[in-house]
Amino acid sequence: MRLPDSFLDALKASNDIVQVMSSYVELKRAGRDYVCSCPFHSERTPSCHVFTDTQSFYCFGCGAAGDVINFVRLIEHFDYMESVRFLAQRAGMTVPENGVDDSGAKRRTRLLEMNRTAARYFRDVLLSPEGREGLDYLAGRQLTPNTIRKYGLGFAPDGWHNLHYYLRTKGYSDDEMEEGALLTRKNNSVYDKFRKRVMFPIIDRRGNIIAFGGRTLEKDAPAKYLNSDETIVFHKRDNLFSLNFAKNTKEKFLILCEGYMDVISLNQAGFDNAVATLGTAITPQQARVMKQYASEVVISYDADGAGQNATLKAINLLGEAGVTARVLNIPDAKDPDEYIKKFGAEAFRQILTGTSTALDHEFRRLKNGIDTSSPAGQAEFLKKAVGFLADIRNDTDRVVYISEAAKISSQPINAINELVKDRIKRNGRIEQRSEERELIRGTVKRDAINPDSLTFPREEKAERGIIAYLFHSPDMLARVEKKLTKDDFPTEFNRRVYDFIANCIKNGEDISIGSIGSEFSAEETARITGICRQADRLPYSKPRLDEYIDVLLEHKEHESEKPVTELTDDEMLRRIDEIRRRKSGVSG
């Protein structure tokens, strides 16, 4: 199960972490090292650091960390062996085969192949007499044969077992089709999930067909679109439709559309930078994926109520990811598609560049439905505006909009300024109070990886110290083992880490982050990297190590002195025994 250290070393040497990471995020040089906006949490200022000397990364914001293998694992949702394979392929290396478990990778490859076969089938049906209806629909939307081919569009014919039986002839089992979300199981029978639908393959950044979206041709269907369920190759929340094209765009911004058809018609009109979420509202992950390819996103959602709510949500998430959001207002047409058909692509390009900023958009919405020419309307507007203005983080922006609000409400700027300042103060107090409440409830910073760290903060720190020390000086294991066993580590997670490292050292194995990844999850590996990274700055002196050991020994001592009320029966007996022994010692 364990790969040879020599192989892992060579693998990492041929996959420079800076090069690998820069194909996912934009790295900025910082001295010898690099920083980037973290792809694993949303942030405005970059806190993810890449260290060239240790070939590792560490996010000071969320704790994501590790070597190049762990980075690939986290960002691609691979398991350990899949990331190793991925990097090996990238570097043209062969992974040693003996005893290696690659079932995950095999299943993944198999599903991707099956999806490709299914897509080919749907395409062939579309071009056959059976697909007439589908082709009519696409022609009605004025898609050219070229566009249909480019997006690999197809048609799932009516009936329960069309794709099902076809894939059987290609050697796929029902279980595989079910796992790939192409079949639905109900009451012990299986049938095609997609029936009488125009099919849109969903393709990831590497060109794999990972899922399908299907548009029904039934007039009165409850939902127009049906998407594949999540599978081991399909994670809705961090993929975007048409990103395989948009990632290569020369434009500086992406256009975020509501649906697949919007994206495809924009693409046909020459806008290769259009993307859409996959049948759900935008997620923080998708916002960060967009950030990897553009610093600006133009939101092009429907103008109806649902579309407006979705727009607000997108503005917030994109803002959190550090992307500038602008909102497209399309005059005289219901969507980009209609606008382009009426006025042409060039006119559309004009309104794209003239889009309002997200703030503008929200500010204008405040006035909706309010008659600001009446004093009552002005007061109502002001009430809404103060909350909005207090939430603007950028001072310059705030001043601009306060003066706007002053004009609209016919109130002096100073007065509004005071109101806003008061509100900001109050917001601050509310935030502080809720933080205090959380502290009291103990809900602050729950530690998912090492939940015991809250119970034993001092000991946990000492445990980390010992672990980091052993990473740095494996020869010190004997010194630790003289005084401690793994059971003296109070927190379960650190106990496991210590046990793993101690075993490695005893077996004469290398304890790189790479080898840890074979035993621990990607998140756990990140934590362990963090432990070593934080401890990097500590002096590695024996007295220091002894201090850590003493903390754990003290704890052990203290453990045996739990208040009587908290003792279990066994502990109680042991305690009595101890006291008796001590007493007899004193008297005798």
At its nearest, how many Å lie between Zn ion and the CB of residue 530?
11
Tell whether residue 405 is a contact of Zn ion (CB under 5 A). no
**Binding-site member from 62, 91, 312, 400 for Zn ion (CB under 5 A):** 62
C-beta of 64 vs 257, nearer to Zn ion: 64
Q: How far is the CB of 218 from Zn ion (least distance, A)?
A: 45
Taking the least distance from each CB to Zn ion, the nearer of 61 and 159 is 61
Report, in Å, the least distance between residue 18 CB and Zn ion.
18
User: What are the angstrom distances between the C-alpha of 151 and each of 131, 154, 228, 247, 268?
Assistant: 16, 9, 17, 15, 10
Separation between Cα atoms, residue 271 and residue 463, nearest integer Å: 55
Alpha-carbon distance of 514 to 80, in angstroms, equals 9
Please give the structure tokens belonging to residue 578: 């101890």
User: 35 or 405, CB closer to Zn ion?
Assistant: 35
| 62 or 553: CB nearest Zn ion | 62
User: Residue 112 or 531: which CB sits closer to Zn ion?
Assistant: 531
Q: What count of other Cβ atoms lies within 10 Å of the Cβ of residue 154?
A: 26
With CB under 5 A as the contact rule, which of the stretches 62-70, 244-252, 327-335, 507-515 interacts with Zn ion? 62-70
Q: Which is nearer to Zn ion, 44 or 581 (CB)?
A: 44
Which positions from 144 to 183 touch Zn ion by CB under 5 A, shown as an x/- string? ----------------------------------------
Q: For 403-407, which contacts have Cβ atoms below 8 Å and span 24 or more sequence positions?
A: 404/363, 405/381
* Residues 505/474, Cβ–Cβ less than 8 Å: yes
The residue to which tokens 């350990």 are assigned: 80
Closer residue to Zn ion in complex, CB, 25/516: 25
The length of the chain, given as a count of residues: 588
For 22, list phi and psi in degrees, rounded to 5: -70, -10
Residue choice 20, 35, 59, 177 for contact with Zn ion (CB under 5 A): 59
Nearer Cβ to Zn ion (378/450): 450
State the amino acid at position 40 in one-letter form: F
Alpha carbon 66 to its chain centroid, in Å, reads 16
Q: Considering only residues 75-94, where is the footprint of Zn ion by CB under 5 A?
A: none
Please give the size of the binding site for Zn ion, defined by CB under 5 A. Answer: 7
Which lies closer to Zn ion via its Cβ, residue 59 or residue 385? Answer: 59
CB of 532 to Zn ion, least distance (A): 17
* Four-CA torsion 221, 227, 230, 234, nearest 10 degrees: 180
61 lies in the binding site for Zn ion (CB under 5 A): yes
Q: How far is the CB of 38 from Zn ion (least distance, A)?
A: 3
* Residues paired with 185 in a beta bridge: 190
Establish if 60 lies at the interface with Zn ion (CB under 5 A).
Answer: no
Q: How far is the CB of 97 from Zn ion (least distance, A)?
A: 35
If binding is defined by CB under 5 A, does position 73 make contact with Zn ion? no
Give the C-alpha separation, 351 to 432, whole Å.
43
Q: Coil, strand, or helix at residue 356?
A: strand
By CB under 5 A, is residue 399 in contact with Zn ion? Answer: no
Q: Which stretch binds Zn ion (CB under 5 A): 63-71, 99-107, 190-198, 449-457?
A: 63-71
How far is 322 from 358, CA to CA, in rounded Å? Answer: 13
Stretch that binds Zn ion, among 53-61, 120-128, 411-419, 483-491 (CB under 5 A): 53-61
Least distance between Zn ion and beta carbon 61 (Å): 4
Token pair in block for residue 516: 């840890």
Nearer to Zn ion, 118 or 522 (CB): 522
The nearest distance, CB 262 to Zn ion, in angstroms, is 32
Q: Which DSSP symbol is given to 184?
A: E
Site for Zn ion in 367-386 (CB under 5 A): none
| 232-271 positions binding Zn ion, by CB under 5 A | none
Q: Which of 358, 225, 342 is nearest to 298 (CA)?
A: 358
Virtual torsion, Cα 410, 415, 417, 423, nearest 10 deg: -110
Q: Strands, DSSP E only, in 208-340? A: 209-216, 225-227, 253-257, 274-276, 296-300, 324-327
**Residue 406 in the binding site for Zn ion (CB under 5 A):** no
Q: Answer yes or no whether residue 398 interacts with Zn ion by CB under 5 A.
A: no
Q: How far apart are the first and last CA of the chain?
A: 58
Site string for Zn ion, 13-42 (x = CB under 5 A): -------------------------x-xx-
Does position 533 bind Zn ion by CB under 5 A?
no
Q: Minimum distance between the CB of residue 15 and Zn ion, rounded to whole angstroms?
A: 21
Q: How far is the CB of 43 from Zn ion (least distance, A)?
A: 7
Segment 472-477 long-range contacts (CB within 8 Å, at least 24 positions apart):
472/532, 472/535, 472/540, 473/540, 474/505, 474/511, 476/542, 476/545, 477/502, 477/505, 477/506
294-323: which residues touch Zn ion (CB under 5 A)? none
The Cβ-side half-sphere exposure at 310, using a 13 Å CA radius, reads 20
Nearer to Zn ion, 40 or 241 (CB): 40
Nearer to Zn ion, 420 or 532 (CB): 532
532 phi and psi, to 5 degrees? -70, -40
Nearer to Zn ion, 57 or 166 (CB): 57
**Phi and psi for 358 in degrees, rounded to 5?**
-60, -40
Interface with Zn ion by CB under 5 A: which residues?
A: 38, 40-41, 59, 61-62, 64
